[in-house]
């Protein structure tokens, strides 16, 4: 059984990846689109790279970044247990994918 801290860390990493992705709240993405965007961002930037993009956004545009992170966290929480993008569809993915919170 996973600890609550583990799930919080994974969901935080997912939210960072969604934040770093080009997906927008106005796109009204489906859970599958959210998972695909997360997987693509992690493949492109790595987990630390996504976190760095979040930090950069907070430094440059704190008000906008806060709104985007609020959306990203809600979107990640709302997709827990939904269908996830398969790691096999990530060509050249060299970073570990984020495991399911199920």
pTM over 0.75: no
Q: What residue ranges do the domains of the chain occupy? A: 4-83
Say how far apart CA 52 and CA 98 lie, in whole Å. Answer: 17
Q: How confident is the model at residue 83, as a pLDDT?
A: 45
Contacts of 18 (CB under 8 A, 6+ apart): 34, 37, 38, 41, 72, 75, 76
User: Worst-scoring range by mean pLDDT, 3-7, 17-21, 71-75?
Assistant: 3-7
Q: How confident is the model at residue 80 (pLDDT cuts 50, 70, 90)?
A: confident
What is the rounded average pLDDT for all residues in the chain?
Answer: 81
pLDDT, tens digit, 9 for 90 and up, residues 53-71: 999 999 999 999 999 999 9
């Amino acid at each position: 059984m996973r600890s609550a801290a583990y799930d919080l860390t994974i969901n935080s990493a997912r939210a960072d990846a969604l934040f770093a992705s080009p997906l927008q709240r106005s796109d009204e993405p489906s859970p599958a689109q959210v998972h695909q965007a997360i997987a693509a961002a992690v493949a492109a930037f790595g987990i630390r790279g996504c976190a760095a993009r979040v930090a950069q956004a907070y430094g440059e545009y704190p008000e906008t970044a806060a709104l985007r992170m609020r959306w990203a966290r809600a979107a990640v929480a709302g997709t827990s247990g939904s269908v996830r993008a398969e790691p096999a569809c990530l060509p050249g993915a060299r970073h570990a994918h984020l495991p399911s919170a199920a």
